[in-house]
Amino acid sequence: MLDNADELFTGERFVPGVEDKKLEIEHFQRYQSIKELVRGKKVLDAACGEGYGSNILALAAQSVVGVDIDSGAVKRASVKYKNQANLKYMERSIADLEGIEDQSIEVVVSFETIEHVPEEVQMQFREEIARVLTKDGILIMSTPNKEIYSDLYDYHNEFHIKEFYKQEFIDFLQDKFSNVKLYNQYFEVTSIIDSNLSEEGEVQYYKDRKQYDHEGKYFIAIASNAQLPQQSISSVFMNAKKEHEESIHRIIELQEDVEKRNSHLMKLDELIDSQSTTIYELQEEIEKRGNHILNLDRQLEKSKKQVEELEQIRLEYEHKKTTISWKLMYKIQRIGDFLLPPQSKRRFFARVSFNLVKDPKMIIKMLSFKRIKNYFKYIKKEGLDGVSKRYEEAFEIEKSYASPEKNINIDTNKIKPKNSIQEYEKIDFYHFDSPEVSIIIPVYNQFEYTHNCLKSIKENSGDVAYEIIIGNDCSTDFTTQIEEVVSGINVITNKENLRFLMNCNHAAKYAKGKYILFLNNDTQVQSDWLRPLIELMERDENIGLTGSKLIYADGRLQEAGGIVWKDGSAWNYGNYQNPDASEYNYVKDVDYISGASIMIRTKLWNEIEGFDELFAPAYCEDSDLAFTVRKKGFRVVYQPRSVVVHFEGISNGVDVSSGIKKYQIKNTNKLFLKWENEIKNQYENAENVFCARERNFDKKVILFIDHYVPTFDKDAGSKTIYQYLKMFLKKGYSVKFIGDNFYQAEPYTTILQQMGIEVLYGNYYAKNVFKWIKENQQQIDFVFLNRPHIAMKYIDFLHNETHLKVIYYGHDLHFLRNMREYELTGDLKKKKEAEEWKKKELYLMNHAQMSYYPSCIEEEKIHEIDSDIKVKAITAYVFDEFKRIIQDDFSKRDGIVFIGGFTHDPNQDAVNWFVEKIWPKIYEVLQIPFYIVGSNAPLAITNLNGINGIIVKGYVTEEELTQLYQKCKISIVPLRYGAGVKGKVIEAIYHGIPVVTTSVGAEGIKNSQDVLEIRNSEEDFAKCVIKLYQDNKELTNIAHHMQEFIKEYFSIDAVWKIIEEDFI
């Protein structure tokens, strides 16, 4: 929310520091570029606005007069720039420059003025310019190029009355001036070489070609009846970036009990509380089950309708099967399956060929020597199914890069006023005796909006138990008959017009839900809008207030939380931006949330006693509520998954000078006075938006960079990163994440965003990631850089272009792993790869401030090569919760299991070795099932399914994996080579399933011999599995010891002790 008093008389005004940087650059560049033209001259700045430009010109000119029709602007400028002796401001219309003598001005400057006035005033202005200019005087005038500014993007600026095309503008000027020179102003890609000591005018200006053939968004004309000056105003403008960081200390008011109860009373109170809690929990359970039954009834009703629809579809399908066209298509399909059999290479290449015809540019772009090479590699390892999956994934990622960002798709009902109440669609709401949420909709007329709002709630609220309370504030339209078309709602009709704030407070007295949600009637909620708000509250009891992402009806963003600045003004963060952009889609603390859709705990609402009546009748009550909630010790949090379309201005309009809207400015002042002590700790207006948007005053910011968003249920490396992300959040860090493929992989991206992590994805960041890091480096404290093949892309930039502290996590020593494989297989290719990885990994370690590896073995190996490298063995896996109950009756368990992703070569070797050399010995004695679990299993593995008790499960969900851990007796990890701590081993220990492994599998785990059975020979491995499998008592003892072991070495506190010093 900007201060509308600063706007031009037309309603449009640029104020330095308030608008966006692009607009600021455009305005400042115009004035800075003409300083030499006005040097030593008498200058008139017409429509000077806030006077900043006049002040710039006064630094070079003999004298400057700034004129503007807005008396307020003139007064502010006169005060702000009073110390500039050769500068004065006058209140004048450009149509009548009264007081400016004939032929007294050498240069008239008029930037972005002429288009705001009618043609008649334009002519008068031109006459006045000609009158006041000396005979050899010059006019410098800018105006938008209508062809680019308006026509090209089909954009209409409501404040522009008469814009100009190029020739039209030239003709306009040449009517009074014989010489006219036109410049174009536009943004273009530039490269800057700067010592940081250069003064203005020292920079050389080059162009790739002598003349740019395209016109700019703006024209700047130099016009005169004399010969035009020789100096050019061509320029490149470097904007000054202000950075300001303050230490903020919040004062928390603590209330202490004055009296201490005696021990007898305390015991009685505890007993009463305990019994009351039990009763309350039982009542809650009864209510939940009652609501669940009602929801089941609703779902059953929907299912019946779906069955009817499916039956209709089936009948239509059966009918179509009898038609000639269907029979013909069926034969064609059969021929297609014959020529291109499913799961065949022919079918795969046919699909690629089809995509090539459909989108040749993208397919050609995808084709590379590396990908062709990988095709032959993975066709052997994973078979056609694995290659097809990889192709589809790559295709989707490339498609996401190629697709331009678009505004979010929204589902809204059209506003169509009716002539009678009977014309409106009937809406029936279920009645819940104990609703989770009380949705309060304050209403004054605008029935068609209210009806559509209610319809959207009915269609998009899922299985939430809610009630709707309509606060009817003496409406005179169809609202008085609402219950004729809407049932199951509670209509509270006021006896007198209370207006918005008092209406909300009054209606809230009737709420029965655990949460109260205030929803404007000029809104339409979107799919699954309500449950995410509840989930956020349920997930964190410290959250007191939450709210939705608000978007306009055209799909643009209205607000992703609000920012309150130090001067008391505020921003709807993200206004008019793309609501799908990553920066608007993560859970975060905010200064306030606009009251169009906010939810608060009912208990907290009652403690606060509702909206403060100081702000009656309306405006700023939502901001005040947010400050009050924080004062009570709760958080105010934005929930982007709850999307609500807001038809802003329908209820009260947008004119702040009349009606209820005029209270917006008055109440802004009241808010500032009430919360002055808190607001003074906010950031300066428009400064440090990076931190202000999420109320980050003192949190350290850590940027994670990895190959992609962690798919934590598919590979161990991703699980490690996921656990570390959670740890840093729990330790109070603000976490940002870059997946180097910039792909919005789901559901993983949303999971991180719901944790409060900003994930950078999309085409913009793919192209501008280095720019983003560099622009925000002052706010970023650490970079957690992962994996050598990803780290190599970033390390030189981070080392040379930023001051950021880089922590490099290698996951394992690639050169050590490859060298071990060479020693095992004699494959010279692996030896060469090991040498190449060694160079890269040592380079990375030497350029990072600290390097991490998951075992002391790797740390020792690195120090054997270079003792000066800063490297640390860390715990690769972090657990914030531990198993309370494990199935420790091993007589009820059956089978053994191997778990590991098959894109990792050591896992393939392990299974092949085990199946060929060890499993026959075990199966001969035990006749038990052996489960093989892991994504991307090659044909050599999948073909084992059904042979000698082997069950190849492939990829399984987290839930299925947990069940397998509880079902099987032993986890086997028969690794022969590799490096680093093995995630599959740690995970097995966590789940309490005994492990038989090799020394490679146990490598790097401190005191691993206490919980692992370690055997290296084929014979010993088989004997150990057979003996242990038959000893249920020993299996139980190992499982219990594992729980103690995991808490000691893999808890958050244990891990944090190792790395804390690196993140101070």
| Predicted pLDDT at 34 | 93
| Predicted pLDDT at 1 | 33
Asked whether the beta carbons of 492 and 440 are under 8 A apart, the reply is: no
Separation CA 701–CA 754 (nearest Å)? 17
| Predicted pLDDT at 252 | 52
Residue 9: pLDDT above 50?
no
| Predicted pLDDT at 387 | 67
DSSP 8-class letter at 105: E
What residues contact 1043, with CB distance under 8 A and at least 6 apart?
A: 882, 883, 886, 992
Mean pLDDT of 639-655: 76
| Predicted pLDDT at 364 | 73
Mean pLDDT of 673-702: 95
250 falls in which pLDDT band (50, 70, 90)?
very low
Residue 94: pLDDT above 90?
yes
Judge if 360 and 217 occupy the same domain.
no
Please name every residue paired with 471 in a beta bridge, in sequence order, or none if there are none.
Answer: 442, 492
Q: What b-and-e string marks burial along 979-990, b requiring 16 or more CB atoms within 10 Å of the CB?
A: bbbbbbbbbbbb
| Predicted pLDDT at 260 | 63
Judge if 56 and 176 occupy the same domain.
yes
Nearest to 806 by CA among 822, 783, 788: 783
Mean pLDDT of 663-671: 87
Which position has the higher pLDDT, 1021 or 368? 1021
Judge if 705 and 688 occupy the same domain.
no
- Tell me if 515 is assigned to some domain: yes
Residue 694: pLDDT above 60?
yes
pLDDT tens, 747-805?
A: 999 999 999 999 999 988 999 999 999 999 999 999 999 999 999 999 999 999 999 99
Judge if 594 and 683 occupy the same domain.
yes
Average pLDDT value for the chain: 87
Residue 933: pLDDT above 80?
yes
CATH of the domain at 863: 3.40.50.2000
SS3 616: coil
Q: Which of 650, 671, 692 is the last residue of a domain?
A: 692
**In the structure encoding, which two tokens stand for residue 1060, read together?**
């804390």
Mean pLDDT lowest for which of 184-188, 606-610, 793-797?
184-188
| Predicted pLDDT at 17 | 64
Mean pLDDT of 528-543: 96
Residue 720: pLDDT above 60?
yes
| Predicted pLDDT at 262 | 66
Encoded amino acid at 849, one letter: Q
| Predicted pLDDT at 5 | 36
- Tell me if 317 is assigned to some domain: no
- Tokens 């009737």 belong to 510
Mean pLDDT lowest for which of 204-218, 458-472, 984-998?
204-218
Residue 995: pLDDT above 50?
yes
CATH of the domain at 56: 3.40.50.150
Judge if 182 and 81 occupy the same domain.
yes
pLDDT tens, 419-478?
A: 899 999 999 999 998 899 999 999 999 999 999 999 999 999 998 999 999 999 999 999
| Predicted pLDDT at 257 | 63
1007 falls in which pLDDT band (50, 70, 90)?
confident
| Predicted pLDDT at 670 | 93
Within 778-904, where are the H helices? 788-801, 814-825, 828-847, 856-865
Residue 247: pLDDT above 70?
no
Judge if 635 and 611 occupy the same domain.
yes
- Tell me if 398 is assigned to some domain: yes
Domain that holds residue 853: 701-873
Judge if 867 and 912 occupy the same domain.
no
pLDDT tens, 50-64?
A: 999 999 999 999 999
Asked whether the beta carbons of 896 and 1025 are under 8 A apart, the reply is: yes
Quickly count: other Cβ atoms within 10 Å of residue 907's Cβ.
26
Judge if 632 and 677 occupy the same domain.
yes
- Tell me if 229 is assigned to some domain: no
What is this structure's pTM? 0.63
- Tell me if 880 is assigned to some domain: no
- Tell me if 33 is assigned to some domain: yes
Using a 10 angstrom Cβ sphere, with 0-12 exposed, 13-18 middle and 19 or more buried, the burial of residue 106 is buried
Quickly count: other Cβ atoms within 10 Å of residue 314's Cβ.
10
Q: Which of 627, 657, 692 is the last residue of a domain?
A: 692
Which position has the higher pLDDT, 7 or 594? 594
Nearest to 798 by CA among 789, 808, 809: 808
- Tell me if 218 is assigned to some domain: yes
Residue 249: pLDDT above 90?
no
Judge if 847 and 930 occupy the same domain.
no
Mean pLDDT of 965-977: 93
Judge if 910 and 1013 occupy the same domain.
yes
Q: Which of 639, 669, 692 is the last residue of a domain?
A: 692
| Predicted pLDDT at 248 | 40
Mean pLDDT of 94-115: 94
Judge if 771 and 829 occupy the same domain.
yes
Mean pLDDT of 195-217: 63
Mean pLDDT lowest for which of 689-698, 947-956, 1000-1009?
1000-1009
Judge if 398 and 432 occupy the same domain.
no
Residue 194: pLDDT above 70?
no
Chain centroid offset of residue 208 CA: 38
Please name every residue paired with 219 in a beta bridge, in sequence order, or none if there are none.
Answer: 143, 184
- Tell me if 91 is assigned to some domain: yes
Residue 613: pLDDT above 90?
yes
DSSP 8-class letter at 1051: B
Residue 889: pLDDT above 90?
no
CATH of the domain at 661: 3.90.550.10
| Predicted pLDDT at 590 | 98
Specify the number of domains making up the chain.
5
Which position has the higher pLDDT, 199 or 113? 113
Residue 519: pLDDT above 90?
yes
